Amino acid sequence: MNQTLLKKENPAEVSQPEESKSSSLVEDKKSEFDCRKYRQFAVTVYLDIQNVLGHLLKDCTEQYPPCPTVALDRLIFEMNKRYSETQLQVVVSPLILTTSDDPNHQRLSAHQHLHTGFLMLSGLQMRGDAMFSAEERSLDEETLEYAWLVELTVGTLSGKLTTPQLQNIITALEAFVFTVEDAENSLRHPRPYLYCYHGTPQPQCPQTTSEHFCPTTDTIKYKMVRASLDGISLNLVESGTILCFQMQELLSDPLIGMEAAHNFGTIVKDHNYALTSHTHANIRLLHKQRFFESVVGPLVELFSTTNDIKTKSCVLVAIASLLPWLTHIVLNAHIQKLLPVLLQGLYTSDFSKIGEASINMERHDARCGSETRLSTLTTLASLLKQNASPAERHTSTLISFLMPLTTYHPLTVGVKALECLAALVTLPVSVILPYRNEVSFFTAEEV
């Protein structure tokens, strides 16, 4: 019978190799590289928002116009992020901004369409490309952005606005920008320092000197922005332009009223040195007719409402200075409105002293009165030769006022007065039969 002698082991000696084995396993695990922690990932985002309606907020009361409204048909955002590059794209199509006037602002019925203005952007596309590099960067550090490229393509910006509507939009945009760039209420970053492009805090970077810090990534990266605009078609409109309003106010000025009246004709007359395409002036189609249509109504109204003789003379000069530079088609549409004013201004007894220097008028005003008469009679004669039917209701008044002017000096005024009388001959003749009482024609023999 064989017996095996078992030696009793010391417990301390047994536990020692087990602890050394476990510690070696831990070290092996620490030294083992787990690539899953540093694997690259890709992100693809597509966002499509349709039928967006918003407001540009501003301070509004009952006495001020409401906030502008922004309507967006479609907003698309795309992002494709990779390890070395990130691509962004934003598409807006189209965008319409509408605004309205002050609710207390009253307009004529013919100008009610100006109550609401709009701005429309046909399309907007923004593309961004950010480039990253891992050169000289550890795996635990972020990649370095070394370039940011932006391409902005803007469509056609068109719109029609009045001056108060434009001010309303600018006020709303100022409030929006002030809210976005409010540095007083902005949040502070919990880290009091910035990282330089080496990935270390700027104060601790070896490249930092006593004169300047080591630059950050945003400071040294390459930036490029390329923008293009298809076109702009903005119309700043109003029922009466600012220039017309100021000039009409100047007609009542006793010092410069006559000079302002003559400048009405300066705007529509043909120049060889100014207000031409050769001098890079923007000449719109039918600009003379547009200006005349905007001022003829207020001028006739001012002439009818004022009681000042000098103001009436200035209004007459303003109207007469416009007439020679307009076509007969335009003037025929307003002859019924202008003819009574011209007759009253030229020939009434209270106003007949315009051509002859009155007590308070200087010789320059007298010469201007003669020129006004000549200009008015020239245009009137030309209109009557084309079509004398509008003057049929004023035939007796015209004849009674034109006859004294045939002997007026200078002679050119008399000649034009004779031409006006000659044009009235084409009007149909009115036969007037005298009234005769009924009497008996019996002879004495028949009685």
Task: Provide the residue count of the chain.
Answer: 447
Distance set, CA 248 to CA 69, 213, 268 (Å): 35, 65, 16
Residue 7 has pLDDT above 70, yes or no: no
What φ, ψ does residue 190 adopt, rounded to 5°? -65, -20
The β-bridge relationship of strands 69-81 and 43-55 is antiparallel
Beta bridge partners of residue 143, listed in sequence order: none
Residue 44 has pLDDT above 60, yes or no: yes
DSSP state of 191: S
User: Token pair 């972020």 is at which residue?
Assistant: 142
Q: How is residue 181 written in tokens?
A: 């760039």
What φ, ψ does residue 133 adopt, rounded to 5°? -140, 145
CA 331/CA 48 separation, integer angstroms: 57
Positive or negative torsion for Cα 34, 40, 42, 43: positive
What φ, ψ does residue 390 adopt, rounded to 5°? -60, -25
Cβ proximity of 405 and 413 under 8 Å:
yes
pTM: 0.46
Coil vs helix vs strand at 53: strand
DSSP state of 277: G
The predicted-structure confidence for 224-252, as pLDDT tens digits, reads as follows 999 998 888 888 777 655 444 556 677 88
- At 288 the pLDDT is 79
Residue 190: cis peptide before it, omega within 30 degrees of 0: no
Query: 233-264 b/e with 16+ CB inside 10 Å = b?
Result: eeeeebbebeebeebbebbeeeeebbebbbeb
User: Token pair 């019978």 is at which residue?
Assistant: 1
Closest CA to 317 of 387, 247, 270, 385: 247
DSSP state of 292: H
Task: Choose from 37-41, 159-163, 241-245 the range with maximum mean pLDDT.
Answer: 159-163
Mean of the per-residue pLDDT values for the chain? Answer: 76
pLDDT, average across residues 360-375? 52
Residue 318 has pLDDT above 80, yes or no: yes
User: 362 falls in which pLDDT band (50, 70, 90)?
Assistant: very low
Residue 440 has pLDDT above 70, yes or no: no
The burial of 4, by beta-carbon neighbours within 10 Å (0-12 exposed, 13-18 middle, 19 or more buried), is given as: exposed
Least confident stretch, 203-207, 244-248, 342-346: 244-248
Alpha helices in 36-193 (DSSP H): 163-180
Distance set, CA 403 to CA 113, 322, 422 (Å): 47, 25, 11
User: Token pair 């590099």 is at which residue?
Assistant: 133
- At 71 the pLDDT is 93
DSSP state of 195: B
Cβ proximity of 207 and 196 under 8 Å:
yes
Distance set, CA 220 to CA 142, 198, 352, 378 (Å): 16, 12, 81, 75
- CB-based contacts of 97, cutoff 8 Å, min separation 6: 56, 68, 69, 70, 71, 118, 119, 120, 159, 169
CA 417/CA 407 separation, integer angstroms: 9
Q: How is residue 259 written in tokens?
A: 């000079």
- Cα atoms in the Cβ-side hemisphere of radius 13 Å centred on 57: 5
The predicted-structure confidence for 63-119, as pLDDT tens digits, reads as follows 788 889 999 999 999 999 998 999 999 999 889 999 988 777 777 776 777 888 899
Residue 429 has pLDDT above 80, yes or no: no
Residue 418: its H or E element:
helix 411-424
